[in-house]
Every structure is written in structure tokens, then in C-alpha cells.
Structure 1
Amino acid sequence: MTDQERSTQGMYVPEMEHDACGIGFVAHLKNRKSHQIVTQALDMLARMEHRGGQGCDPCSGDGAGILLQKPHEFLLEESVKQGIKLPSFDQYGVGVVLFPKDEHKRQQCRDILERNAKRLDLEIIGYRVLPVDNSMIGEDPLSTEPQFEHVFITGGANLKPEVLERKLYVLRNYTVRVCLESVSNIGDDFYINSMSYKTLVYKGQLTTEQVPQYFLDLQNPAMVTALALVHSRFSTNTFPKWRLAQPFRYIAHNGEINTVRGNLNWMKAREAILESELFSPQEISMLLPICQEGSSDSSNFDMALELLVLSGRTLPHALMMLIPEAWQENKEMDPKRRAFYQY
């Protein structure tokens, strides 16, 4: 069933969708990368199956996934098989892209991505189709299954890594927007899980146990990381989708944001006055809208957090702005912190 068909069904209101999920995090305290972190995180994810939802078919999950640090050596090895030569770790980013199965639509999305990359003085080095095994997934996710690909992108040897990260952020946002506007009936067939020089996100409309079975990369011992964030999605009054699985680019979220409509309206109202020393006016225009109608509350929170962090704030600072403490009646709070929240 398409989103358009769902929107006309009975009393279904997309804006009233909510989630209740399971999340977990594994990290090496001395930042030592290993495949063991991957296996420990996936084991933890499998143990949270009770926190994830399923359809009437037990092989159709509500969504699950894992966020990892970019495994440079693994990608070097795999890219050579595709005839792709990658530069050093901090000189390229990787997009985990969900392309349409339809070849014509897929090429349209690639053309848009490549044009937008040139506009930002970036270069697409190449594409790698992710090896997957879909033999265990249910009929519903199989009917909407995308084609997963790695997209390798560079800005050249002289581009600072933090600048590359911001350009990748703009490229991802703008490309998704243009594809949705330009490719007919694209719907949920195109999405970008992540696009970063630091992290990768493997996720989809899967059960927790299906994640390492489906994404064969995760079984490779060369897939190493020093941290891993996992998420098991339980949808309440929600239709599962490949793109709504978590983690997102910065967060994995459990719960509901009851003020989400007001939050979205305030974000939209402020877009006209957005400016930053780290983004050009052209880049800001390419980023808009920051939040997206039809995305989950968690997804839009992640988008707002990403904007604040990439605009120069630390992660704790950005989180304090987005999730303020209950400060009004707390007379014991430090005056400076109180002034921060009041501002």
C-alpha cells in the first residue's frame, strides 16, 4: 500500500504516529576498533527483539539498525574490487543510499546526486552495491525493498574534514529534496541513511535478528569500529518503512515527542532568518526545509540536532537547547544555567 493510499484510509492521521523502541550503545573506552564491538552490538540488538514490533508475518519487522564508525580498511578492500581507489580516511565520505529498484528512477536519482555534488565542488568517486540476503524478510518489506549502495564522495586533498562533513550534510538534504520533487512517484523509494566521513548507518525494515543476516558487510571480520549504536523499532499507530528505521545520523530515540507539531512550526518560522558563518547563503537555501513533514518525531529531532552541531555547537550544548531541563521552579539551579535555558 502506498503512502497516498494510506492517507485516505479511515481515521488514519500520519501526524499522529508514535513509536516505542529499544536502544543500546557499545563503545571501547580507549577508542580501540574491533569487529568484537560490532558483534557485541548486534547481539545486544537481537536481545531487544521484545522491544521491536512485527506484523502479522513474524518475518516482517518494524525496523532495526546499527550505526558504526567508518571502517576505512574494509572500504579500501571492497572498493578495489569495484575499480575504485579511495583517498585517505578524512578525505572522503560515504553515503549509505537507498536507491529505487526501478533502473530508470535509480539513474535519475544518481544524475541528481552527481549534479548536486558538482554544485558543491564535490566529486563522486564511485558506487558500490551492498551485498544483501533478503531470503529471510517478510512479504511486506520485500515488496518495498530498495537497492542499497555505498556512494564514495571526495572534496579533494585540500578540503578540511569538518568542511567536507558540512558539504556532505548539504548534499544529502538537498538531493533527497530534489529527488522527491523531480522523480515521479518516487515516494519512499529513495532515501539516504547516512552521508558522512565518520560514520555509516545500516538499517531497514527488519527484525533485530535479521540485521546481520541481511547486511552481509556486518559479518565481515574487517568491519571494525570503536563504537556502535543500535535500535529496535516498535511502531504504535505507525506504518513501518525502510527509511523510518533507526538509528538516524546522530541519535537513536525511544519515546514520543508530544510537542512535535509546535516544534516543527517554530523551526519552519525561523528558517527565513537562518544564517551561519559556517554555511554560505546558497548552502543554507539548499538545506531548507530543515525538518520534513511526514517524517517521524525522532527523525525531525535528529535533523534539528544535526543542524546545531554542524553549525558549530558542541553536542552537549545542542542537546541542552533541544531538551531543556525543567528549570522554571528549580531554585537550586546555577544562575548561569538558568539564564541559558531562559534565553
Structure 2
Amino acid sequence: MQRKQSRNMKRRKWVLVIFLLSLLLGTFWPLALKESSVKLKPIKNDDFSVNNVAMLSTNVVPKGALAKDADNQLKQAHYVGTALIVHKNKIILQKGYGYADAKTKRVNDAKTLFQIASVQKGLTATLVMKEIEAGKLSFDTKLSQFYPNVANSDKITISDLITMTSGLSQKIEPTSFVSELDNIEFSAEHSVVVGEPGIGYGWSYQAVNYRLLAGVLMKLTHQSYTSLLNKLFNDDYKLGVTTYKHFIKSSHRAIGYDTSYDKPYENNLLEYNRETGTGNVAITTGGLYRYYYLMINKKFGKIVNQVWKTKPGEEYAGGIYHMNHYMLAHGILPGYEPTIILTNNGDDAVILLSNQHYRKHSFQPLAKKIFTQMTAIPVK
């Protein structure tokens, strides 16, 4: 009798457990499914507008005559890299050409990361703009407030550095790297005068201008340049800007090549680390276009026109050349060549991020040709 009773007791317990579980599942499971269905929003594959952020990381095959013609020209030029072409606010082509990694046969595509070299100067100018809007800096702030030992620093303004009219140059490069701030200190110590600051002879395209701006940012905020970069462009705006330290470990990185896939450039940590603020980050074509789109539409700040204001007779300001009807940015690093051409409103753009570069070879003329054919705007 006792055995039968204990068996019955066990059966009753299991029935009760099963009943309670069924109640719980019946109550909560449908809610969980309903909640997940609300969160998952399908991408509209027919929406090629630049406002569809998901499309900026998606391969877009050429369909119209303009896109197909550009695609053919890129193929005929043996272009290596990823191309993004925007026409009338629509993405008409985003496609990879050649290998991102020839050894593993991984091809370039919309998600491939490329070193953007001097194009990074625009990001540095944007970080400076944020501090100016916060009232911590002004365009007229003198460099001497941060680097008093630099020649002419009592005459050189933040505006002069942004427009590369400081009259400074740096002939000697560091042979070691300790930190970003120490790297800038080296630049400050080895700055030399090549012209008077301001209008006229002060203009000279020199990386030291933006290295010093990176140093100003770090001294002003007591944060590293990388921290400031990540906070604004990645945490706040999800652009996917990647520092060299993480770039070389990324499964999406493009390896830089010389004349052929048999000649990849070796990783040179020193060469990239010393380019603080001036050329040591990577991004995708879509992420880079998004950056310019946000700048043009004053999403990073309201004083973009002042950051992009050139000195009389000059064309460069805030990391980009400003012409009458278009803007142009370009850079070169061993194995990499970024070219960006876009209209002043950003509705038309050609972005070529290439992982092949060598002496006397450039894809920039091709980018200019495609842009002119698309917009009827002649490019110098």
C-alpha cells in the first residue's frame, strides 16, 4: 500500500509540474514571439536611398546605363578595391573589385575596410568643431596656448591649422612610438617654419598641422585621440571607423598591394602609429560616404561652413578641397589610395577606396572621369 501511495504522489507531482509549465509557456511564449517580431524590421531591398543606412553596407549591382558604364570602366582599368557611386541621392553601385586578401581569395565588397590615409584629416577637423561648439576652443585660439615652444605659435591659430596655412612643416619622423601624445610632442619639437601663418605664403600641405590639432584635442579634453574618435564616430554615429591596431586583426580588412598580388605591403606599426590624426584609420566606402552626408547635413554640428571655410585664394579646409561645384579628398599610404569626389549637397558622389597603390599609378583620374560623366561637372 505504501509503495502504491508513493507512486501516486510522484505521478501527481509530475502532473502538477507539467500543468504549471504549460500555463507559463501559454502565457509568456506568445508575448516573446510578438516582441521579437516587432524588433525585426526587414530591409527594403528596393530602397537605394542614402537614407537607408543598411544599404550603405550592402553590395549594389549596377543596373542603369550610368552604373553599368562606370562598372565597365572600373573593370577595364583593372581597379582593385571597392567603389561606391551615388547619383541623385540614390546608391547606383557599390561593388568590390579584386582581392582584399589574395592569399585566401577573399574578395573586396561593401563590408571591406580600407585605410583612408589623409582623408582622416576631415575626421580630426570634425572633432575640433565639436570642441569649438562646446565653447572650449575658438577658430582664433592661438597654438601657443598648447604648444608655446613651436615657432610662430603665438601667431598661428586653430583656423590656420585647419586650413594648412600655419607655415609649419615637419622634416624628421619619429623612429619609435610610445603614445599618441608623445608622438605629437615629437612633431611639435621638430616643427620648422616654411612660411608665415595666414593668407598667402603660409599655405603648404603638411601633415604636422593635423598632428598638432590632434595634440590640442588631447590636451584640451585629457583623453586620447582614439577615445575621442571612437566616442563620436562609432559610439554616437556607428560609422565603423577602425584604428590600425584593430584593423590589422579584422577579418574584413583589405591588404595593401604594390604592382601585383605577389607584393603585399608588410604591416608597419610605426609608420601608421605616427600618423595620429592624419592617416591611421580605416573605414568602408559606405561608412565614409555616411560621414560626409552627416557633415553636409550638419548632424555633427552647426558650424560646418566655418570649418570648411577656405582662406582667400585657397581651396583646402577641414580635410577636403572645396571647388565651386564639388569637393574632393584624396590620400596615399603604402598599398592604399582613397579618392572621394562629391557635389556640395552630397547628392552625387564617387568614392573609390583602393588597396593597390604604387609609384606613378593612381585611380584618381578614373574617379574624376566617372564623376564628370555622371554630373557634367568638370573636375580639375
User: Do the structures match in fold with TM over 0.5?
Assistant: no
Name the TM-score, length of structure 2 as normaliser. 0.25
Instruction: Report which structure shows greater RCO (CA 8 Å, sep ≥6).
Output: 1
Name the TM-score, length of structure 1 as normaliser. 0.27
Larger radius of gyration: 2
